[in-house]
Structure 1
Amino acid sequence: MPIFSKDWRDPGDKWVKTDDGGWEKEKDACGGSLTDMVVNLSDEENQENVDPDALSLITRRGSRGEIMAPQPYCRIYTRNTKEVAGFNGLGETLKKLDFINAVRDNRRFRYICKLLDLLITQKLSTLSGGAQKMLFGMLEEVAHEVTRSQQNVHLLQHLLQELKKRLEDYLWGSKLGSTILWEQHTQRLKGIDAIATTIQIQQPGDDMHPTLQEVPEECIREILKRLDNHRDIQSAGQAYSVMAKVSEEKTIWRQLCRFHWTPAQIEHVIQVHKELQVQKNWQQIYNRLRRTYGLREEYAEKLCLCRNCSCLFWQSYGHPCRTDTDQNAQMEEQIEEVKSDIIYIAITPQEFLKYFHL
């Protein structure tokens, strides 16, 4: 059976080492770099001879027309068959979706932290070397972001504690995989831990007004109503006496119950547990519902999956469909007829990992 391959005179691809220790192509098959391609396409002379649709596939443009970095996206195989099993690489997908730089985006921070939590607590022993490098790179970026923003210190501490615990559980005796790779992981973990230990929350100065104690009780109540879990409410109640009093109000816990669960679920739990019918303690109802149904996960921004082209992309960037003109026209007609959330499916971190057979 004949084997078709590239011409031996082809200059080939040039591979360079990246900052995270991986390798990527610097040049295309014709010997030209992607940077040169973007610069050439930005010239007015070349833009006259280039299809506008082709230009949009390579680069994104800002509000003033300046050329921006390529939009992060990744096509995946959504069919769970033997023929395509293992075709989706987690490490490569995380790199194409630019997860490391996405940590700096406030809207995606909690989504990425949840994904890291799942990888560390459930999938660490099944990750490839490339995926492990991406995990440590994302965790390091989370540490830098927490240091810069002075927020979400508890999330970073939780991830580090779980990672140290899993490394001790999984890697007793000789480590699985490359010894050099695990030495690099150990050094990176020590560096991340050093960053976490030096984080100090800066207290506002005496000249900063209004202080938390000066905020009216009505505003404190509105702040607590916007918290989406019991841990934050209980932690806020430890700040000072007014917050402690407001955090015990039944309206706070009733609204929290209605945010996470449907009226039918709330009524079912009340009917099953007779003691809750006598005295409607909404904090107890919340705890019963949490143990029965779990908490609803809410993120400012999620990954989206297009049903038309099986492309993963961040919701705020918009859809980077790579299909031809006829299919694009058909897709625009579909979007006009149905709602966009039917074409684009929001993907939770748990659903995201299912595409990689982990």
Structure 2
Amino acid sequence: MPFLGKDWRSPGWSWTKTEHGWKRIIIYGHDVDRIHREIELACDDKENVFVEDICEVASVKRRKDLNNHNTKSQFVFRDKWIYVQKGSTKERHGYCTLGEALNRLDFSSAIHDLRRFNYVAKLFQLIARSQLTSLSGAAQKNYFNILEKIVQKVVEEHYNPRLVKELLQDLSTTLHSLTLHAGRCVLVGNVNVWLCRLDDILKWQRQLNHLHIPKQMCSGLLLSDLPLSTQNQILCKLSDACDIINLGQATPTLRILSESRTLWKRLCHFHFSDKQHSSRNLVLTKSDSVDWKLLYFTLQKRYPVKEQYGDTLHFCKHCSILFWKDRQLALLFKDCGHPCTANDPDGCLVPVSPQHFIELFRF
């Protein structure tokens, strides 16, 4: 009859008595069926009072094997928020890590929202550049699982392939540097696992490079059918220079509008007017002979451009909680997205950019 030790020497282990004393039972994968048969016989005879404990051990073993060997498994959390607190206090011990934030926050479903897709892709690009080695094994597994879903969404819906191509290129460069030069000392897991991930990245890059966006036959109103003033307003709403250049290649009319000096002047003031040194140059350049397009790309080499996203993560300064703000729930039920105790929850919220997200977990 098995002995289940509950003392400090054998917490939860199964033991059996032999001629030489008590021996611990080690359950392997091929022994699970045999244990189940023994449990069924014991249930029929109703002689083994430890049947429930043995069932619990077998089920825990199966769950552990599933989590260890199934690379697609992910942790599911009901709460879509997480505490971000540096250091330890009497009320809360430890601190939140970047890997824990990737596992707890709902990035897997956020990529299906067009307002959050660019935010998650940009965040993953920053992690690929500098923070990949700081992730735990579970966080790295979750990172590549979400990355695979990002590539699949681009292949199926043809949404923003340029950003994902840049993400894969930065990730490939980082992994080549770490696996070929640094070695396994800075990576969690076997080097062969990372080489397989490099093969997956190359496969994803080939899929995006051979991506063909079919032309959709539309019998309604086209962009070129709109008035020139409306087309010009559409161009003025774009904040990405690459999007303006690509849109200018669609029709000859849009090409003329995309080269407008007024358009590039607004773009320069939007991105670089708050920079201390660049604002001085923008004020001094009041002459009509200034090439604003050339000035934009000159300033872009020295200063980062502003980032715009449809939806971002929010940080509550009162509660120190990082979370996704669901706008529909906020409008219907006046729910701010996390258990806030402030009198004015909306006044304590701060939008978190991808770079700010990385800085929150630098200790």
TM over 0.5: yes
Query: Residue type of the partner of 2:308?
Result: E
SS at match of 2:318: coil
Higher relative contact order (CA 8 A, sep 6+): 1
For 2:211, the equivalent position in structure 1 comes to: 199
For 2:96 and 2:300, the matched residues in 1 are separated by: 34
Deviation at 1:129, TM superposition (A): 1.9
SS at match of 1:299: coil
For 1:129, the equivalent position in structure 2 comes to: 137
For 1:187 and 1:289, the matched residues in 2 are separated by: 37
Whether 1:319 aligns to 2:336 is: yes
Unmatched segments (≥5 aa) in structure 2: 1-7, 13-51, 328-334
Deviation at 1:203, TM superposition (A): 0.8
Query: Residue type of the partner of 1:282?
Result: W
Deviation at 1:264, TM superposition (A): 8.5
For 2:313 and 2:297, the matched residues in 1 are separated by: 30
For 2:129 and 2:232, the matched residues in 1 are separated by: 35
Alignment partner for residue 241 of structure 1, among 252, 258, 283?
252
Deviation at 1:197, TM superposition (A): 4.5
For 1:344 and 1:314, the matched residues in 2 are separated by: 11
For 1:223, the equivalent position in structure 2 comes to: 234
Aligned pairs for 1:84-95 within 5 A: 87-95=95-103
Deviation at 1:194, TM superposition (A): 5.2
For 1:283, the equivalent position in structure 2 comes to: 293
Query: Residue type of the partner of 1:347?
Result: V
Alignment check: 8 A CA contact 2:269 2:282 kept: no
1:129-164, Cα deviation, whole Å (9 max, x unpaired): 222222212211111111232220111211122222
For 1:102 and 1:277, the matched residues in 2 are separated by: 46
SS at match of 2:314: strand
Alignment check: 8 A CA contact 2:155 2:211 kept: yes
For 2:15, the equivalent position in structure 1 comes to: none
For 2:206 and 2:302, the matched residues in 1 are separated by: 39
1:211-253, Cα deviation, whole Å (9 max, x unpaired): 4443332222121111102111112222221111001112212
Identity of aligned residues (%): 26
For 2:28, the equivalent position in structure 1 comes to: none
Q: CA RMSD in A?
A: 3.6
Alignment check: 8 A CA contact 2:81 2:104 kept: yes
1:173-208, Cα deviation, whole Å (9 max, x unpaired): 644442254255245435534543453201122x53
For 1:354 and 1:168, the matched residues in 2 are separated by: 25
Q: TM-score, normalised by structure 1?
A: 0.69
Change (3 A) 1:320 1:247: closer
Change (3 A) 1:80 1:342: farther
Alignment check: 8 A CA contact 1:120 1:166 kept: yes
Deviation at 1:107, TM superposition (A): 0.7
Whether 1:346 aligns to 2:354 is: no
Moved more, 289-298 or 215-224: 289-298
Change (3 A) 1:185 1:264: closer
Deviation at 1:89, TM superposition (A): 2.6
Q: How many residues align?
A: 295
Alignment check: 8 A CA contact 1:22 1:130 kept: no
Alignment check: 8 A CA contact 1:76 1:311 kept: yes
Change (3 A) 1:70 1:342: same
Alignment partner for residue 110 of structure 1, among 93, 110, 118?
118
Change (3 A) 1:204 1:80: farther
Whether 1:294 aligns to 2:304 is: yes
1:311-343, Cα deviation, whole Å (9 max, x unpaired): 1111226534447xxxx3xx2xx31xxxx5541
Alignment check: 8 A CA contact 2:80 2:105 kept: yes
For 1:126 and 1:75, the matched residues in 2 are separated by: 19
Unmatched segments (≥5 aa) in structure 1: 26-68
Alignment check: 8 A CA contact 1:74 1:96 kept: yes
